[in-house]
């Protein structure tokens, strides 16, 4: 069985919903399963330590998950046009994997959620891709053969899946955004299915 790590951070739940859709797409491909993992919050109170098990959502990722996975889907809310600090913090702990080439040639894809339509989705997705390229990963976006890219009135980009959650995060994931999340997961899974 091949495994795709779906690693995400979500404060208000939008990116988590997207992660579940990406996982659904992954598991549509025979012989491939999704492993959902998240990262703890970071705190400016340095003594603060999160419980080892989150109160809700996926378990926390371990560095070993990167070794085990055959591919990676990375999801983050947009924070000032960039990925959220907890994910970046986790990535900055992966030097040993970078040195040993753990992720070289493994496929990867990215997804994000913003509050506003032009709030920097593409900037975030591209900035999330950069550390994955440093790790030697092979990036999968969404091709325009996914016709939802042409008709969506909210999220969905060739750089990865996206969702416009609204200023109070109350927007439901649109039909197009949903299909594009699933398509991204499916595409990633098909790249590793044997």
Ligand X SMILES: Cc1cc2nc3c(=O)[nH]c(=O)nc-3n(C[C@H](O)[C@H](O)[C@H](O)COP(=O)(O)O)c2cc1C
Q: What are the residues binding ligand X (CB under 6 A)? A: 10-16, 77-81, 113-116, 119-120, 165, 169
- What's the token pair of residue 35? 């492993």
Of the candidates 87, 107, 103, 92, which has an alpha carbon nearest to the alpha carbon of residue 22? 107
Strand partners, 160: 157
Q: Which is nearer to ligand X, 14 or 103 (CB)?
A: 14
Q: Which is nearer to ligand X, 45 or 80 (CB)?
A: 80
Sign of the CA dihedral running 149, 150, 152, 154: positive
Residue 193 CB, nearest approach to ligand X (Å): 28
Q: Which is nearer to ligand X, 108 or 164 (CB)?
A: 164
Q: How many angstroms separate the CA atoms of 182 and 187, rounded?
A: 9
> For residue 99, which phi and psi values (nearest 5 degrees)?
-65, -40
For residues 87 and 76, the answer to whether their CB atoms sit within 8 Å is yes
Residue 97 CB, nearest approach to ligand X (Å): 25
Residue 169 CB, nearest approach to ligand X (Å): 5
Q: Which is nearer to ligand X, 162 or 191 (CB)?
A: 162
- What's the token pair of residue 100? 């040993």
Q: Which is nearer to ligand X, 113 or 157 (CB)?
A: 113
Residue with tokens 């053969």: 145
Q: Which is nearer to ligand X, 163 or 186 (CB)?
A: 163
The CB-nearest residue to ligand X is: 119
Beta-sheet strands, E only, within the chain: 2-8, 32-38, 71-77, 107-114, 138-139, 161-164
């Amino acid at each position: 069985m091949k495994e795709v790590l779906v690693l995400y951070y979500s404060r208000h739940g939008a990116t988590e919903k997207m992660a579940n859709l990406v996982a659904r797409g992954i598991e549509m491909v025979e012989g491939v399963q999704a492993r959902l993992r998240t990262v703890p919050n970071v705190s400016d109170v340095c003594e603060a330590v999160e419980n080892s098990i989150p109160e809700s959502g996926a378990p926390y990722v371990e560095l070993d998950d990167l070794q085990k996975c055959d591919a990676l889907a990375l999801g983050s809310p947009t924070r000032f046009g960039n990925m959220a600090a907890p994910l970046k913090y986790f990535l900055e702990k992966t030097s040993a994997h970078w040195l040993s080439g753990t992720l070289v040639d493994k496929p990867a894809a990215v997804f994000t959620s913003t509050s506003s339509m032009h709030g920097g989705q593409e900037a975030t997705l591209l900035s999330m891709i950069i550390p994955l390229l440093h790790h030697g990963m092979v990036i999968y976006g969404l091709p325009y053969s996914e016709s939802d890219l042409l008709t969506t009135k909210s999220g969905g980009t060739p750089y990865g899946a996206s969702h416009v959650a609204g200023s109070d995060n109350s927007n439901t994931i649109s039909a197009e955004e949903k299909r594009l999340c699933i398509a991204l997961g499916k595409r990633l899974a098909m790249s590793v299915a044997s």
